[in-house]
Amino acid sequence: MLWRDCCGYLTQFASTATRLTIFSLAIFLPLLSLPWIDPAISPSLGNCICSPMERFWGGNGISGNKNMVKQLQHCGVFSSERVAEVMEKIDRGCFVTDGTPPYIDSPMTIGYNVTISAPHMHAMCLQLLEPNLQPGMHALDVGSGTGYLTACFAIMVGNQGRAVGVEHIPELVNFSVKNIQKSEAASLMEEGSLSIHVGDGREGWPEFAPYDAIHVGAAAKEIPQALIDQLKPGGRMVIPVGNVFQDLKVVEKNSDGTLSIRNETAVRYVPLTSRDAQLRGS
């Protein structure tokens, strides 16, 4: 039985004290640097530490994108019908590498020491950002990887908005463009309201700033100032922050430029770093 399955089973039936013990183990085991616990090496753990929704499926039990979305709703991962619609429209199967099972609730390696996040994390981030992904708005996806979330953003903001992905691995940019061209967001890329760029995501993408929504798909040691600067007053950023201990933070910029920051959940992401450090796996 995988650690994820043990964690899900026990937390479903154990006492509160036992659940706290299990959760503590889920946090402290990564300190042992065991390769099977690191989603960048073996992605079975998932982005959300000891994620309660992962107990419902972890093998090949889900077939098809629509069934995956329905299962996420059933597990209570998200409630927004608008998020359900966009996730059903943008098929995750178009955004994974050949031979990778796309509908398992787990991150999957895409090469270059990075992963595509687990479906539950995509759903969670889409729901957190939904108020700032209205038609006509601007959205930035930092560390856009396979292009999946960028494509979802593009559908939500529409052809009058702007969805921008930034990825510092040129091969992944090429891969993401091909993926998007196979998806329901292809026409938005052709029209120019969706674009993917090679660049250091820590610097954002000033050309289309300010952004109503910013998503960061890797863990920063601290929130990059460039992203704060490019966040529009009234805008919202979702970013994992930390090293071994990471929190998914929701950052909102107030009308006077000050920030309101809250922690959403504990997570485990690959680090937001330079291209060379990422390729070295450090």
- Does any domain span residue 37? no
State residue 279's pLDDT score.
85
For residue 271, tell me if it sits in a domain. yes
| Tens of pLDDT, residues 183-241 | 999 999 999 999 999 999 999 999 999 999 999 999 999 999 999 999 999 999 999 99
Could you tell me the strand order of the sheet in which 246-253 lies? 194-198, 162-167, 138-142, 211-216, 231-242, 246-253, 259-267
Phi, psi of 5 (to 5 degrees): -70, -40
- Relative to beta strand 231-242, strand 246-253 is antiparallel
- On whether residue 77 sits in a domain, the answer given is yes
* Residues 249-273, mean pLDDT to the nearest whole number: 95
- Asked which of 9-23, 136-150, 240-254, 257-271 is least confident by mean pLDDT, the reply is 9-23
In a domain, 5, yes or no: no
Contact assessment for residue 262 and residue 250, using Cβ atoms and an 8 Å cutoff: yes
Q: Is residue 7 part of a domain?
A: no
Residue 28, domain member (yes or no): no
The residues carrying an active-site annotation are: 117
Domain boundaries, position 169: 51-280
Q: Is 60 helix (H, G, I), strand (E, B) or coil?
A: coil
Per-residue model confidence (pLDDT) at position 22: 43
| Residues 254 and 282: beta-carbon distance below 8 Å | no
134: three-class secondary structure by DSSP: coil
SS3 224: coil
How do residues 34-92 score in pLDDT, each as one tens digit?
A: 332 333 333 334 465 544 434 445 555 578 999 999 999 999 999 999 999 999 999 99
In a domain, 22, yes or no: no
Which of 42, 51, 41 is CA-nearest to residue 105?
51
- Asked if residue 275 belongs to a domain, the reply is yes
The CA–CA distances, whole Å, from 67 to 26, 93, 102, 142, 152 equal: 28, 12, 12, 28, 18
Please, is 220 exposed, middle or buried when counting C-beta atoms within 10 Å of its C-beta (0-12, 13-18, 19+)?
A: buried
Phi and psi torsions of 17, nearest 5°: -60, -45
Q: pLDDT tens-digit profile of 114-151?
A: 999 999 999 999 999 999 999 999 999 999 999 999 99
CA torsion through residues 121, 122, 123, 128, sign: positive
At CB < 8 A and 24+ separation, what contacts does 205-210 make? 205/140, 205/164, 205/166, 205/230, 206/230, 207/164, 208/138, 208/140, 208/162, 208/164, 209/138, 209/140, 210/138, 210/235
CA angle centred on 112, ends 217 and 67, rounded to 5°: 55
Number of domains the chain is built from:
1
DSSP state of 204: -
Q: What is the pTM (predicted TM-score) of this model? A: 0.82
* CATH number for the domain that contains residue 71: 3.40.50.150
